[in-house]
Amino acid sequence: MTEALCDRRPDPSLERLLADLVPPPRFAQARLDNYVPDPAHPSQEEAKQRVTAFAAALGAPRGGFLAKLRRRKPEPARGIYLDGGFGVGKTHLLTSLFHAVEGERVYGTFVEYTDLVGALGFQRALDLLGESVLVCIDEFELDDPGDTLLMTRLIRELSDRGVAIVATSNTLPDALGEGRFAAQDFLREIQAMAERFEVLRIDGEDFRRRDGVAEIATLPEPEVERSGESMAAATLDEFDPLLRHLTTVHPSRYGAMIDEVSAAHVIGMHGLTHHHDALRFVVLVDRLYDREVPTLISLAGASAPGVLEDLFSAELLRSGYRKKYLRSLSRLASLTGDGGALLRPGAADAAS
């Protein structure tokens, strides 16, 4: 019987949480050498050069014995904040930096760090992360006041210990939280965090569109069902039950939920109008994308191939989460392209 994601309730151990603090499979081979800037957008080359210099500085000696004696405590470290639209290579640069630096370093998404703090407690997490040379934070988003206070404090105290921090986001650090909660109430904390970063703005077009991936392809529902039932290690879910299931699993565990899944199949897809459903689905798409899991979807009752339009309502796309939703649409288009490729002659057998 085909398994569904709805059947999975992951409860990763602390060891698993720590082991996951590395770049995801999609970016395992990302290096500064294979980051190819778009000549039409010079900021990409500038960001590459600045990240390269930052990596070299982290690897440079910090002075001799006398310098260590004079240094009573580490100087606050400056970090880099990679800001820009989706698909311009921010995550590629972040993972490349991780691979370029030697010594203890960690890499995770924003929600993975908040989950780690929840599992360990703030002080223990701080002490653990404080042993690192470099902390990489991908998808930096402050969606609620609690996360704002937690992450700004964590970054400030890690920086005070001399830990270099590099983050990616679609929002400038002093604008985090705008349109989502009363950011002005937390302006002091946000500004204190922002002062620790050098902001590198990266312009450009979504590379997935440059590669010809633009539309979220859908398939007839019977075809998606047949594929899900015949493919080894695949999952098959109905969209609405899947959305309900996502409310029962912490977003930081969505990665564990798709462990060893060869392809994800979802039938009955339709548009979303509420942030709580949409934001959880965005995180699931991000984890599917990171782990390179091909995805096949069908519209509710569809009997012919088509294109999924209006996954996020116009109201959602006007909100403070606009860039996050647009990134998800781009990534889902890429995943469904990979999913459609599985149905070409011989592809499903190879996947098995």
**pLDDT per residue as tens digits for the range 1-40:** 789 999 999 999 989 999 999 999 999 999 999 999 999 9
Summarised one tens digit per residue, pLDDT across range 114-156 is 889 988 999 999 999 999 999 999 988 766 667 777 888 898 8
Residue 256 falls within a domain, yes or no?
yes
- 309 plus 340 within the same structural domain: yes
- 163 plus 212 within the same structural domain: no
Structure tokens at 205: 């077009």
- 200 plus 214 within the same structural domain: no
- 216 plus 101 within the same structural domain: no
In 3-state terms, what secondary structure has residue 335? Answer: helix
Domain range for 269 is 208-351
- 274 plus 347 within the same structural domain: yes
Residue 151 exposed, middle or buried by CB count within 10 Å (0-12, 13-18, 19+) = buried
Q: How many CA atoms lie within 13 A of 167 on its CB side?
A: 30
> What CATH number is associated with residue 51?
3.40.50.300
- 237 plus 319 within the same structural domain: yes
Summarised one tens digit per residue, pLDDT across range 254-279 is 999 999 999 999 999 999 999 999 99
> Is 162 within 8 Å of 76 (Cβ atoms)?
yes
How many domains does one find in the chain?
2
pTM of the model: 0.85
Residue 103 falls within a domain, yes or no?
yes
Q: Return d(Cα 249, Cα 244) in angstroms, integer.
A: 10
Summarised one tens digit per residue, pLDDT across range 40-96 is 999 999 999 999 999 999 877 654 444 444 445 556 667 898 888 888 899 999 999
Residue 309 falls within a domain, yes or no?
yes
The pLDDT score that the predictor gives to residue 336 is 96
Instruction: Annotate 304-319 with DSSP letters as a single string.
Output: S-EE---SB-HHHHTS
- 43 plus 175 within the same structural domain: yes
- 40 plus 179 within the same structural domain: yes
- 185 plus 80 within the same structural domain: yes
Residue 149 falls within a domain, yes or no?
yes
- 161 plus 307 within the same structural domain: no
Residue 12 falls within a domain, yes or no?
no
Residue with tokens 């006398």: 66
